[in-house]
Amino acid sequence: MTMSEPKAPQPKEIDWNNLGFNYMNLPYRYRAYWRDGEWQDTGLTEDANVTISEGSTCLHYGQEVFEGLKAYRCKDGSVNLFRPDQNAKRMQKSCERLMMPKVPTDMFIAALKEVVRANEAYIPPYGSGGTLYLRPYLIGVGGNIGVHPAQEYIFSIFAMPVGNYFKGGLTPTNFVASEYDRAAHKGTGASKVGGNYAASLFPGQIAHDDGFSDCIYLDPIEHKKIEEVGSANFFGITKDGKFVTPKSPSILPSVTKYSLLYLAEHRFGMKTEQGDIYIDQLDHFAEAGACGTAAVISPIGGFKYGDNFHVFYSETEVGPVTRKLYDELTGIQFGDVEAPEGWVEKA
């Protein structure tokens, strides 16, 4: 018996303007199998279920890495991928950390395009605000029981149309500092591995139960500096107009964050810094936000840490610099604003 998955609704039944961030079983996904030291049996499948050995390392020892990126429907009907090479490279780094075989960049990007084209009818229309979210993942499989890297692996990419990850979209929402850590100082925080997210489920639930969008993790050594949000990086705009974002070995190197650092400096002439953001110095900031593929740019209204509640720009209005960065980034992604060289690839 296999667990069954309901099929996605027909594209014409989808409310593109109110998608949220939910799984949908689209018609096609990509699969590739690593056996005898090479990728084999590559291609699309309609089977949403993955059947693996009970001894698979992904089940017991968390030998799993994943990625997240999006396909964007442009005004002229074409489809953009945003910096897919950066996701390929980050997945290769995550694979090094968990001792897994790498998916070459060319294979990664070609597979993304196959999935996007096969599920083309599910790419939200231009102007709806929706995008096609792509979820590549790689798992260790096969009969194992000792704590060793697997001999065999499955790489897959599935997709689903999505809207806002945080329900506010460009309206600020509130976040809370977690007492827990998602990753150790020199642990796996900089890798996109499932275990980091397993560790974030409980703190995330506490934050949601208390009415916050998500928690913000502090540095795992002293709990004095901001690290990142459970599903996005953190950035702040100082009162003198500098774009600042934390530097730490235990945060995920966000493609969106690096893109914003570049745009702030090269398009808006802002000073930028990757450094320490101490929670007792939040008064230096005029605006703050969470940035990531799913989060895009989500303004942070209020931030609760201990008994303090700090409001950055406003709990109800997005700040002007955050909005400017949002417009530039999403303009590039949807093909309305000229992209820096190599950032956008047609699917």
Catalytic residues: 192
132 in contact with ligand PLP (CB under 6 A) = no
Residue 311 to residue 218: CA distance in whole angstroms = 18
From residue 277 to residue 296, what is the string marking binding to ligand PLP with x (rule CB under 6 A)? Answer: ---------------xx---
- What minimum distance in Å lies between the beta carbon of 231 and ligand COI? 4
Residue range at the interface with ligand COI (CB under 6 A); choices 39-47, 156-164, 289-297, 335-343? 289-297
- What minimum distance in Å lies between the beta carbon of 320 and ligand PLP? 22
Residue 344 to residue 226: CA distance in whole angstroms = 31
Pairing of strands 29-35, 243-246: unpaired
Ranges of beta strands (E only) in the chain are 29-35, 38-45, 64-66, 69-73, 79-82, 131-141, 152-162, 173-177, 214-218, 226-229, 232-238, 243-246, 272-275, 285-292, 296-305, 308-311, 344-346
3-state secondary structure of 315: coil
68 in contact with ligand COI (CB under 6 A) = yes
Q: Site for ligand PLP (CB under 6 A): which residue of 111, 160, 190, 255?
A: 255
330 in contact with ligand PLP (CB under 6 A) = no
- What minimum distance in Å lies between the beta carbon of 114 and ligand COI? 19
233 in contact with ligand PLP (CB under 6 A) = yes
11 in contact with ligand COI (CB under 6 A) = no
- What minimum distance in Å lies between the beta carbon of 308 and ligand COI? 27
Torsion on CA atoms 324, 72, 106, 264, rounded to nearest 10:
0
- What minimum distance in Å lies between the beta carbon of 54 and ligand COI? 26
231 in contact with ligand COI (CB under 6 A) = yes
Which one of ligand COI, ligand PLP, none is in contact with 228 (Cβ closer than 5 to 8 A by kind)?
ligand PLP
298 in contact with ligand COI (CB under 6 A) = no
Instruction: Identify residue 229 by its one-letter amino acid code.
Output: V
What helix, strand, coil percent values describe the chain, rounded to 5? 25, 30, 45
Vertex 108, ends 102 and 136: CA angle to 5°? Answer: 85
Cα 74 off chain centre by = 21
Which one of ligand COI, ligand PLP, none is in contact with 254 (Cβ closer than 5 to 8 A by kind)?
ligand PLP
231 in contact with ligand PLP (CB under 6 A) = yes
Instruction: Identify residue 325 by its one-letter amino acid code.
Output: L
Residues 6+ away with beta carbon under 8 Å from 204: 214, 215, 230
Residues making contact with ligand COI (CB under 6 A): 68, 231, 292-294
Binding site for ligand PLP (CB under 6 A): 68, 228, 231-233, 252, 254-257, 292-293
